Amino acid sequence: MKNLTAERKQKLWDAVIKQIANDIWEDDFTVLEVLVKLIPVKDLLQTLPEEEWKLFPEIQIDKMNHEKEAQNIYAQKGASAVYDYANKHGLPYASCQGCDAQTPIYNESCLICGAKVIV
């Protein structure tokens, strides 16, 4: 078997996703369930909103590294995507002097500029 190029992989993923969407539309979750069962439980848990993580206390998840994640998001998609991320995870906001704005914070650090923020 030849290796798929990135483009061909994307084409395959798109086709599979389309098929799964059709299956779900017809109330058939068989393929989705097979795929979900292949995913490590920690990764699965992270697809749920953080409020729901406590429903599975037996899964020891490292507290999300929001600072690292926010840096990645900022680098790839900019500040507004960091705000979206913070809102999705219910992170608090505080006044950041560096940004001169109310910004999402984690561990007393601004997730936009990384400065320490007094809460």
Task: Tell me which residues touch Zn ion (CB under 5 A).
Answer: 96, 98-99, 103, 110, 112-113, 115
In the complex, what is the shortest distance from the CB of residue 99 to Zn ion, in angstroms, rounded to a whole number?
3
Q: What is the nearest approach in angstroms of Zn ion to the Cβ of residue 88?
A: 19
**Secondary structure (3-state) at 108:** coil
Q: How far is the CB of 114 from Zn ion (least distance, A)?
A: 7
24, 32 contact by CB (below 8 A): yes
| SS3 (DSSP) at 64 | coil
Closer to Zn ion by Cβ: residue 45 or 79 = 79
Nearer to Zn ion, 19 or 102 (CB): 102
Q: Which residues contact 81 (CB under 8 A, 6 or more apart)?
A: 73, 74
Are residues 96 and 105 in contact, defined by beta-carbon separation less than 8 angstroms?
Answer: yes
Smallest gap from residue 21 Cβ to Zn ion (A): 39
109 sits in which H/E element: strand 109-110
Amino acid, res. 20: I
- Taking the least distance from each CB to Zn ion, the nearer of 51 and 100 is 100
Residue number with CB closer to Zn ion (78 or 98): 98
